[in-house]
Structure formats: structure tokens, C-alpha cells
């Protein structure tokens, strides 16, 4: 018995030294990280009885079961991402287990940000100018209001399989990360994706989830916020109509509202956003994820 134990310890120490055996296999949806990317980290436990802990730049990350299928019994995931403007130069992952600690370093590659001007109608220009001068507190209050939703770590998983686009037929009118200069001179990074479509066009849930907010705000107009679980939230702004209620469970592809121009909008469109906790990331990467159903 002593000899068997000694041989196991010797084999483990050699394996760790050579980097040949790890407690978990580590995969990322992106080989190269960029600011604004939506990233899915996938871990597969090699030892069913081992306990895994993962930190991202010294912050503990919660691991979620990948799915309820038997073939995914030892598969775990978490979503992550980094702001388009404020981001670290590198990301250090540490995977802790009974076998030791494995370190993985990813470097963020900056991206060139496209600039553009946003032309507004006279009435919209006046509306925006007034908002810039008088409604700063209102905007901050709305940001704080929604931050309270996004900062609460999810405990459930609602989403199932791959994600779909929120509007079936539309035109991309403003991409994520675009540096926009308004007619009033105000500049801002676009932290969502705008899809232009006629008023009344159906807006659908990109995946199964729980509606955590369905209501109206002065700046964002009629809004829906869906919690898909795993700290992933999707937001739908400027809606003309809301077809769901707060607290309801919606299925993937279900009609949840219609395109409009409520709130501070220059025309009928859907402002679609994705949040990983409170971090806004590129929503168009959501349906590009290679998710095994």
C-alpha cells in the first residue's frame, strides 16, 4: 500500500512538472481577446471527485454546469468580457484543484474603433441637448437603477442551446464600440448594437430566460431586461410595445415586444445590449458562440 501511494505521488509530481496532466481542460470561445469581446470559458474536469476553483485577475469566478446532459456531467462554464475603453493589458486565469494550480495568461489585443457622426432631427437634437444640459442626474439614476440588476450574480441557468438574433429582418445601423459624435458635440462609445427596422417589427428573446424588468424610462424608453442565467443579461431598448411582464419566463424566439423609438432615439430601431454582470460586451458575438446543444 505504501509503495502504491508513493508511486501515485511520484507520477502526479512528474506530470505537474511536465505540464502533461491537469485537473481540468481549459477552452475559450476566443483564441485572441479584444476589448468588448463576449467570451465563454469552458472547463472539463478530468477527475470527477476533484474540486475546481478559478480566478480571473485574482477575482473568484463562479462555475456553472454546462448542461444537464449526461455527456456534460463534468463540464463547466462562465461568461466574461472587458469594456471597450477600460480594459486590462492581460488576463491571468488560475485553476486550483487538489493537483495544484495551473496558470493561463491571455493578452488583450486593442482594436481600432470606428468613428462616426450621428445626425439627429431638429426635435431630437433639441431633446438630446436638453438631456445633456438638464438630465445628467436622470441618466445617472437610470444607470444606477439597472446596475443593481446586473450586479446580482445569477444562481440559475435558463438559456438552452445556441442564441439567435433579436430581430429576424433588420439593418445594422450602429455597431458595438463605435465612437459617436452627436450634433450637440457630445461623444460616447456605443456599448450596444442598433438594429434599424420599421416601427412594430417583432422583437424576440435571443434565448430562454427570466424577465427581470419590463417597463419604461425617460432616456431608454420602453425596456425589457432578461436574465438568462450564468451572469448573462440581454437588454432591449426603445421598444414601441412590451408583450411580457416582469417575472415571467420567456422561451427562445418568443415575441417579447416591437421595435419603436421611445425615449431618446433618433428613429425606429432596437438598441440591443448584452451584459456580463455589469460589463457591457459585444452582443453580436452571442449567436456566434459555438455551443454544443
Give mean pLDDT, residues 11-35: 65
More confident residue, 103 or 174: 103
CATH code, residues 115-285: 2.70.70.10
Q: What are 58-107's pLDDT values in tens digits?
A: 999 999 988 777 677 889 999 999 888 878 889 999 999 877 888 999 98
**What DSSP string runs through 249-274?**
EE-TT-EEEEEB--SS-SSSEEEEEE
Three-state DSSP string of 77-121: EEEEECCCCCCCCEEEEEEEECCEEEEEEEEECCCCCCEEEECCC
Assigned architecture for domain 2-107 = Sandwich (2.60)
pLDDT at 263 over 70: yes
Alpha helices in 118-216 (DSSP H): 122-134, 136-150
pLDDT at 185 over 70: no
Confidence of residue 12 (pLDDT cuts 50, 70, 90): very low
The answer to whether 161 touches 167, Cβ cutoff 8 Å, is no
Give mean pLDDT, residues 243-252: 97
pLDDT at 127: 58
Q: What are 68-77's pLDDT values in tens digits?
A: 776 778 899 9
The answer to whether 185 touches 233, Cβ cutoff 8 Å, is no
Confidence of residue 287 (pLDDT cuts 50, 70, 90): very high
pLDDT at 253: 97
More confident residue, 292 or 238: 238
pTM over 0.85? The answer is: no
pLDDT at 126: 57
More confident residue, 97 or 242: 242
Note the Cα 146 to chain centre separation in Å.
15
* Cβ atoms within 10 Å, residue 208: 20
**Same-fold call for 2-107 versus 115-285:** no
Q: What are 264-284's pLDDT values in tens digits?
A: 888 999 999 999 988 999 999
Q: Where are the domains of the chain?
A: 2-107, 115-285
Q: What are 215-226's pLDDT values in tens digits?
A: 999 889 999 999
Most distant CA atoms of the chain, gap in Å: 85
- What 3-state DSSP class applies to 191? coil
How are strands ordered across the β-sheet holding 38-45?
Answer: 24-28, 38-45, 75-81, 64-65
- What 3-state DSSP class applies to 48? coil
pLDDT at 4: 44
- Which residues in 118-146 are b (16+ Cβ under 10 Å) and which e? bebeeebbebbbebeeebeeebeebeeeb
Mean pLDDT of the chain: 82
Q: What are 120-171's pLDDT values in tens digits?
A: 455 555 555 555 555 567 778 888 888 888 888 878 899 999 999 999 988 8
**What DSSP string runs through 199-268?**
TT-EEE-SSSEEEEEEEEETTTEEEEEEEEETTEEEEEEEEEEE---TT-EE-TT-EEEEEB--SS-SSS
Give mean pLDDT, residues 192-216: 96
Amino acid at each position: 500500500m505504501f509503495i502504491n501511494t508513493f508511486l501515485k505521488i511520484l507520477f502526479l509530481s512528474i506530470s505537474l512538472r511536465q505540464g502533461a496532466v491537469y485537473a481540468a481542460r481549459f477552452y475559450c470561445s476566443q483564441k485572441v481577446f479584444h476589448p468588448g469581446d463576449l467570451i465563454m470559458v469552458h472547463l472539463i474536469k478530468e477527475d470527477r471527485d476533484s474540486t475546481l476553483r478559478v480566478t480571473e485577475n485574482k477575482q473568484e469566478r463562479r462555475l456553472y454546469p454546462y448542461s444537464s446532459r449526461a455527456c456534460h456531467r463534468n463540464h463547466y462554464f462562465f461568461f466574461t468580457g472587458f469594456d471597450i475603453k477600460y480594459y486590462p493589458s492581460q488576463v491571468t486565469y488560475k485553476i486550483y484543484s487538489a493537483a495544484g494550480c495551473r496558470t493561463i495568461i491571455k493578452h488583450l489585443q486593442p482594436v481600432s474603433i470606428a468613428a462616426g457622426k450621428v445626425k439627429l432631427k431638429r426635435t431630437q437634437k433639441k431633446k438630446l441637448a436638453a438631456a445633456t444640459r438638464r438630465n445628467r442626474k436622470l441618466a445617472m439614476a437610470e444607470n444606477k437603477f439597472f446596475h443593481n440588476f446586473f450586479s446580482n450574480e445569477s444562481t440559475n441557468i435558463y438559456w438552452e442551446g445556441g442564441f439567435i438574433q433579436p430581430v429576424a429582418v433588420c439593418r445594422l445601423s450602429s455597431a458595438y464600440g463605435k465612437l459617436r459624435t452627436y450634433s450637440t458635440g457630445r461623444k460616447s462609445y456605443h456599448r450596444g448594437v442598433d438594429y434599424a427596422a420599421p416601427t412594430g417589427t417583432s422583437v424576440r428573446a435571443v434565448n430562454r430566460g427570466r424577465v427581470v424588468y419590463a417597463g419604461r424610462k425617460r432616456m431608454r424608453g420602453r425596456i425589457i431586461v432578461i436574465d438568462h442565467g450564468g451572469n448573462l443579461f440581454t437588454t432591449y431598448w426603445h421598444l414601441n410595445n412590451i408583450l411580457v411582464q416582469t417575472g415571467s419566463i420567456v422561451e427562445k424566439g418568443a415575441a417579447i415586444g416591437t421595435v419603436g423609438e421611445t425615449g431618446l432615439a433618433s428613429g425606429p430601431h432596437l438598441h440591443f445590449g448584452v451584459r456580463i454582470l455589469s460589463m457591457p460586451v459585444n452582443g453580436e458575438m452571442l449567436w456566434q458562440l459555438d455551443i454544443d446543444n
